[in-house]
Amino acid sequence: MATQVFKVPDTFRKDFKYTFCPGCDHGVAIRLVAEVLEELGLQENAIIAAAIGCSVTIYDFLNIDALEAPHGRAIAEATGIKRARPDKFVFTYQGDGDFASIGLAESIHAALRGEKISAICINNTTYGMTGGQLGPTTMLGQVTTTSPTGRNVEYYGYPIKIAEHIALCDGTAFSARVSLDSVANIKKAKQAIKKAFEVQLKGLGFGFVEILSGCPTNWRMTPEQSHEHVRNEMSAIFKPGIYKDITAEIK
Amino acid sequence: MSHIVINGDRCKACYLCIKECPKKLIRVSEKTNSLGNHVVEFCDENNECLGCAMCATRCPDLAITEVYRG
Amino acid sequence: MAVETITNKKVLMKGNYAIANAAVMSGCQCYFGYPITPQSEIGEFMSGKMQELGRGYVSAESELAAINMVMGACSTGVKAMTSSSSCAVSLMQEALSYACSDELPVVLVSVMRGGPGLGNIYPSQGDYIQSTRGGGNGDYRTLVLAPSTVQECFDLTQKAFYLAHKYKNPTILLADGLLGQMMEPLEFKEYPYPEVDNSSWCLTGAKGRDGRIIRSYAPLADNQCKFLDRLFAKYKLIEENETEWEEQNTKDADILLVSFGSTARNVRTAAKICREKGLKVGTLRPITLFPFPNKRLQELAQSVKKIISVEVNMGQMVDDIRLAVNGKVPVELINKGVGTPPSPEEIVSRIEELI
């Protein structure tokens, strides 16, 4: 008798269909979030705040309570939700522009306050929904629609390493960077998301995961090439790893 | 018997699963879905599927909806 | 900063503390704010009181964050507020547009100071347009309540929470630096309004039901048209039900003085002096700036010969009065740009110039 080893998590809405481009890693990231919500039994108690960009469509797919925030303010709204209802599981799902550019002040300060919320940030080094412009994580040399000759330091400055910055905040309980370039790394990513959720449940502080993801459309690559790019180029600059884990320190 | 279930409606023809399968049991089919994509199909005449779920783990669109092992 | 304790029923209190106490007594569960003169006492009071009561308080990193935290808290159905002033309320305009679209019961206390830009910390009424029209994008309205005494600061704060929840719409208490900083006798009152049932829409986790989405994103044009029609039907209902004003000696008046907030105090005295001089002067004070007492002004335009708006700004409410009476009677302006309102004597002499 065969046993089922994979299913669509119950956390999804009935008959959902992703609206992402072919090969987009958002689909994988959202599935991992859904799996972790299900495994931790959080679906009926979770509230998500999401802002703008491809990431905001998460509420069309997950069958959980959701609040749409203005661009950059998902963390502020999540803070408000958590302070009003400390018994709820509150998290955000954001892009790098939302989390680390327009919303950087909110992100850093939530981490410094040790807000008991969790944040997932998709880093694809570009503004996806608006058509591939230069973002806070755009790599040096990377060509985007607003860096047509590539990002150079003199003109554009440097990209931000988000997970490292969040790890520096004293209120952060967990900060990690993971990648979705391979099946092995997808499994690691899930473990990191689980950890970022668990530190909230334990009341330890701010939980954060940065997820390196491919954006084949705006990178002008095939899905397969986009994963090679994440593996060979992005991961060399944005090194995957656990940058802070106070549960490990406690051990 | 190990096998997978594919929801062709969700397939966006990125074909990442094809490369992922260690036994090369997934291929592009002649069928198209409402998106106009040639969807993938599972073809395991010799019962080689391991039920490893690497294809489903990789699929960005949850088009591989179920995996069974054993 | 001492935390006022609610023991005596009648106390001498600053407007800012009246607002803060009223919020606490209204059952405000969360306060999020960023300091700015002349309203910082509100946040200072709340920081201690909310902690003491086990409620939510965050000293936010910015006004943007503060009002978005309020939106987050409101989405769960609780009463929540922020307070700020003029140039910092400017930072909140985007969120107010979202909150109108999301239909969230946000309460914002706006204690006006001089503008534009950083301006100064003197009292002003320069944010009449900012409050009643808003600086956010799209078609939306916020309810605006304008107190003119410390007691009204208290009473209307309670009412702001009620109306915000009753209509699921952001509500602004529009005070100014004078009201915020001055002390007057104040009587504490228990929250006099019924609690509004938010259970049909608020976010509590998808238990026994599908997940709710509170959002303003409506990609299809038809949906957005329908939504706006519904939103504006709500605003019409608000106009019908909630328009509030106070008037004096309007029955036989030739001249109608219209003013709101702290300015109305001197205007009332000025009207009294005018009557003593034999001038038939009446007063009207809008208490709700949106909804504006358009109908009543239209009625009075039938009997008065002139309407004069008295404001501490360069003439903002005067536009609404002109729209209301639609050319029926001349509408003049007595104003000063910023500071304490013109004295009764000054108002009287300017009235005499105008007639």
Over residues B19-50, the pLDDT tens digits come to 999 999 999 999 999 989 999 999 999 999 99
Give residue C219's pLDDT: 75
Determine the average pLDDT of the residues in A192-196.
98
3-state secondary structure C149-211: CHHHHHHHHHHHHHHHHHHCCCEEEEEEHHHHHCEEEEECCCCCCCCCCCCCCCCCCCCCCCC
Least Cα separation, residue B23 to chain A (angstroms): 15
Closest residue in A to C208 (Cα–Cα): A44
CB contacts, 8 Å: A12 with chain B: 62
Residue C216 maps to a domain: no
Tally the domains of chain B: 1
Q: What is the per-residue pLDDT across C310-322, written as a single tens digit (0 to 9) for each?
A: 999 999 999 999 9
| Inter-residue contact B18 to B27 (CB < 8 Å) | yes
Q: What is the per-residue pLDDT across C147-205, written as a single tens digit (0 to 9) for each?
A: 999 999 999 999 999 999 999 999 999 999 999 999 999 999 999 999 999 999 999 99
- With a CB-CB cutoff of 8 Å, which residues 16-55 of chain B face chain A? 16, 19-20, 37, 51, 53-54
Determine the average pLDDT of the residues in C66-78.
98
- With a CB-CB cutoff of 8 Å, which residues 4-23 of chain A face chain B? 4-8, 12, 17-18, 20-23
CB pairs under 8 A between A and C: 141
Does residue C3 have a pLDDT over 50?
no
Least Cα separation, residue B29 to chain A (angstroms): 17
Q: Predicted ipTM?
A: 0.96
Residue C92 maps to a domain: yes
Tally the domains of chain A: 1
The rounded distance, in Å, linking the Cα atoms of A36 and B5 is 22
Does residue C218 have a pLDDT over 90?
no
Residues facing C260 on adjacent strands: none
CB contacts, 8 Å: A79 with chain C: 58, 65, 69, 72
Determine the average pLDDT of the residues in C230-252.
98
Report yes or no: A83 at the C interface, CB cutoff 8 Å.
yes
Q: Look at B12 and A22 and tell me if their CB atoms are within 8 Å.
A: yes
DSSP string, B8-29: GGG--S--HHHHH-TT--EEEE
Q: How many CB atoms lie within 10 A of CB A152?
A: 11
The rounded distance, in Å, linking the Cα atoms of C144 and A57 is 34
Mean of all residue pLDDT scores within chain A: 96
Residue A206 maps to a domain: yes
Is chain B adjacent to chain C, meaning 3+ CB pairs within 8 angstroms? no
For residues C92 and C144, membership in a common domain is answered with yes
pLDDT bracket for residue A250 (50, 70, 90): low
Per the structure, the complete domain to which residue C85 belongs is given by: 10-205+232-237
Of C61, C71, C211, nearest to A106 by CB-CB distance is C61
Closest residue in C to A41 (Cα–Cα): C207
CB contacts, 8 Å: B62 with chain A: 8, 12, 18, 27, 31
Residue C343 maps to a domain: yes
Q: Look at A67 and C80 and tell me if their CB atoms are within 8 Å.
A: no
Domain at B26, CATH number: 3.30.70.20
Q: C217 or C36: whose pLDDT is higher?
A: C36
Return all residues near C344 (Cβ < 8 A) that are at least 6 apart: C266, C267, C269, C270, C272, C273
Q: For chain C, give the percent of residues with pLDDT over 70.
A: 98
Residue C1 maps to a domain: no
Mean of all residue pLDDT scores within chain C: 96
Does residue C220 have a pLDDT over 90?
no
pLDDT bracket for residue C2 (50, 70, 90): very low
Residues facing C12 on adjacent strands: C185
| Inter-residue contact C176 to C128 (CB < 8 Å) | no
CB contacts, 8 Å: A62 with chain C: 211
Residue A16 maps to a domain: no
**Nearest C-alpha neighbor of C147 from the set C121, C129, C173:** C173
Per the structure, the complete domain to which residue A101 belongs is given by: 26-250
Q: Look at A84 and C58 and tell me if their CB atoms are within 8 Å.
A: no
Residue A9 maps to a domain: no
Determine the average pLDDT of the residues in C210-235.
91
**What 3-state DSSP class applies to C265?**
helix
Report yes or no: A58 at the C interface, CB cutoff 8 Å.
no
Per the structure, the complete domain to which residue B16 belongs is given by: 3-68
Does residue A99 have a pLDDT over 60?
yes
For residues C279 and C329, membership in a common domain is answered with yes
Is chain A adjacent to chain B, meaning 3+ CB pairs within 8 angstroms? yes
Mean of all residue pLDDT scores within chain B: 96
Q: For chain A, give the percent of residues with pLDDT over 90.
A: 96
Least Cα separation, residue A129 to chain C (angstroms): 14
Chains that touch C (3 or more CB pairs under 8 A): A
For residues C14 and C68, membership in a common domain is answered with yes
Domain at C184, CATH number: 3.40.50.970
Tally the domains of chain C: 2
Closest residue in B to A189 (Cα–Cα): B57
Least Cα separation, residue A74 to chain C (angstroms): 8
pLDDT bracket for residue C216 (50, 70, 90): confident
Does residue C1 have a pLDDT over 50?
no
Distance of CA C41 to the CA centre of its chain: 18
Report yes or no: A70 at the C interface, CB cutoff 8 Å.
yes
Closest residue in B to A182 (Cα–Cα): B58
Give residue C7's pLDDT: 55
Report yes or no: A184 at the B interface, CB cutoff 8 Å.
no
DSSP string, A207-232: EEEEEE---HHHHT--HHHHHHHIII
Give residue C196's pLDDT: 98
Q: Look at A76 and C73 and tell me if their CB atoms are within 8 Å.
A: no
For residues C178 and C91, membership in a common domain is answered with yes
Residue C219 maps to a domain: no
Interface of C with A (CB under 8 A): 29-30, 32, 56-58, 60-62, 64-66, 68-76, 78, 80, 94-95, 98, 102, 203-208, 210-217
Domain at A231, CATH number: 3.40.50.970
Q: Look at C69 and A63 and tell me if their CB atoms are within 8 Å.
A: no
